[in-house]
Chains A and B, each alone.
Chain A
Amino acid sequence: MCNTGYRIPILGIFVFLLVLMGGCQGLKGSRPLLPQKEYEKMIVGNLYADYVGTQNCLAACHEHDRLKEFFDASTMGAQLKKESGMPLVDCESCHGPGSVAISGLTRELVEKNARQGIKTACDYKTLIDLKNLPAPAQSLTCLKCHSANATFNLHNWNAGTHAISDVSCFDCHKVHQSPDLKVTPIKSGQLCFSCHQAAQVEFSLTSHHPLREGRVFCIDCHDPHGGISGSLLKEESVKESCVQCHPDKRGPFLYEHADVMDDCQNCHTAHGSVNTNLLNAREPFLCLQCHEGHAVNNRAGDRISPESARAFYTRCTDCHSTIHGSDVPSASGTGRFTQ
C-alpha cells in the first residue's frame, strides 16, 4: 500500500511555513511579460507612451458609460483605489498606456464639443487592440495580474486544451459586461455550446443528463481552465467526476469489475445516448463485447431453445444487478455480481 498519506500534509505545512517566512515584499510585483511586451510594441507602435490614469479615460470621456458603472463595481474596479493593497487596475492595465491617445485633448475641449453635440474621440488606435490580439496574448493580459494574486482555478491553464487551442479569457469572461465576471452555472451551457455544438446535440438525445432541463451544468464536470485529467475534467479522473453525484458507485468493493470501473466511459457516455441509462450500447451486446456468453448448447449437444436464449441473452443486468461492484459473493462463491 502507498505510504504517502502522511507525507503530503507534512510537505504542505513545510511549504506554507516557507511562504510565511519568505516575506511579503515583491510578491505583488508583476514580472516582465515578454510576449505581451512584444505585442504592445507591435501594436502601439512605440513604448514611449505614459500611463495617464483612469481619471483621464473614464472621468473625462467615459464617465457616463455603463461600462464604467460595471467596471467600478467589479473586483478590478475596487482595485482602482490604492488603499485596496492589491495591484492597481485601471483602463491602462489592459488597454496599454494612454498618453499618446489623449495627446492634445483637454477637458475644456471635450466639454465644448459635447455642448455642440460632438463626441470627442481619443486616438484609440494607439492603444492595444485587444480584440484582435492572438488568443495567448489576450489571456496574458489577464494573467499578468492574476499571476500576482492567487489563481485558484488557473493552475493548469497554461498547458490546458483551451490554452493550446487558442481560446482566450475574453471568449468566456466579458470584462465590461457586468460587475460579476463569473460565469454562472446555469449560463455555462449557453457559453460552452457556442463552440461545442456537437456536445449540445448529444444532450438532445433521449437518454441524457438533465442539462437541457437546467439542473446539471457543464461546469459540474468540466473546468474550462484546465485540469490534470483529459477532457478538461474538474476532478482527477472520469470516475472521480462521476462519483461526485453518484457516490454509491465509488467503492472500493470486495468484488470489482476488474479495473473497468476506473473509467465509467467504458460502458456509459456522459452527455447523451440513444440507449437507456446513457449506455454506449444496448444489452446484451454491451456485455458480450468483452464476455463470453452463457452456453448455447446443453450436455447432450443440442442448441438451447429460443426461450432459453431469451432468458439468458437479453438484459444481463436483470440477474447481474451489482455490476458496478459487490460485497457479497454470488452462489458460486465468486463475484458474479448476482448478489
Chain B
Amino acid sequence: MSLPGGNPRIPEGINASEENPLLEFAWLAGALLLGLAAFVLVLSLSARWLAPFIPFSWEQRASAAVDVFLDSQDVQDANAAARAALDELSAALLQSSLRLPVGDRPAAEVVPPQAFRFHLLSNPQPNAFATLGANVLVTEGLLGHVRSENGLAMVIAHEIAHVQLRHPVESLGRGMVLQLVFSVVTGSTDNSALGGALASGGLLTLLSFSRDMELAADRRALALLGAHYGHLGGADEFFESMDATEDGAQWLEFVSTHPATERRLALIRQAMAAATVQQPLRELPAALQNIAADRACSAEVAVDDAAQLSPGACPGGGGNQSGP
C-alpha cells in the first residue's frame, strides 16, 4: 500500500470520443431530414385524402382573411360592366358544372354554387387563380390572351374545377404542414405561422397547386366546357397564346407552378380532336372585349389574331390604361 510515483498516463478518447463532430452532425442532420421528409410526405398525402371530406363551411371560416384581403386591396376596381359580364359567364359555367359530379358526389354538395365569388383584377399580368373560400380571380391581362368567350370560359372552368376538387384546401393543408415543420426546424417561436400567412395575403402565393392538381383541373375543365357549349372549340386559346409568347418573365408567374404548357396543350388538343363536333366560337362579351383589346395592345403581345378581333382598337398610343 504505497503511493504511486506519479499520476497515470491515461490514453485519450475514452471519456471523450475523438471522432470529428462534423461526422456526427452529418449523420444526425441527414437522419432528421429523412425523417422530416417522410413526415411531410405522409402529411401531404393525408391532406390529399382528407381534402374532399373537409366540409366547405370550414374552408370558408379559414378564408375569411382572404375575403378581407380581396376587399381591402381594392382588387375589384375593374369597370362594373366588365365585372358583370364576367360574373354572367362564370355563373353560366357554374350552372353547367353542377351536372358533373365530383368523384361520386354531386358538385353542388361539395361546394355550394352560391359560395363562388368571381373577381376581375386590373392587373396587366396574364393570370388567373382560385383560392380559399371559392374565390376565383382573373386578371385583365389575361383577357388579352383569349380571342373568344370559349377561350375565357376554359380558364374560368379550370379555376372552378380547382375549387370543386378542393385543391385550395389540400394545398393549404400542405402549406401548413410545411410551415409547421419549418418553424420547428428553425426554432422560430412565432406560433402564428398560419395566422401570419393568412393575414398577409401571402396566402395567394402560398397556395401553389401541384402538377397533378393542374392536370386534374384541366380534365374537369374540358368536361365542363363540353357540357356547357357542346364542343371544345377555343379551349386551347389561352395556352396557345402563352406558348407563343416566349417572353418568359411575363407569364412565368402563372406557368411556374403549372405543368409545362406544351404538355397541357397536348392534353387539351387531344381532347379537342376526340370531340369531332366543331362549332363557331362565341365572341367575348362587349365589356370584356374592350379590355381584351387594350391589354393585347399594351402588353405588345405578338399574337396576330388578338389585334384582328377589334382592328385599330389600340387607343392613345399603347393604351397602357391599367385601372387606377
A, B assembled together = no
Q: Mark B residues whose CB is within 8 Å of A.
A: none
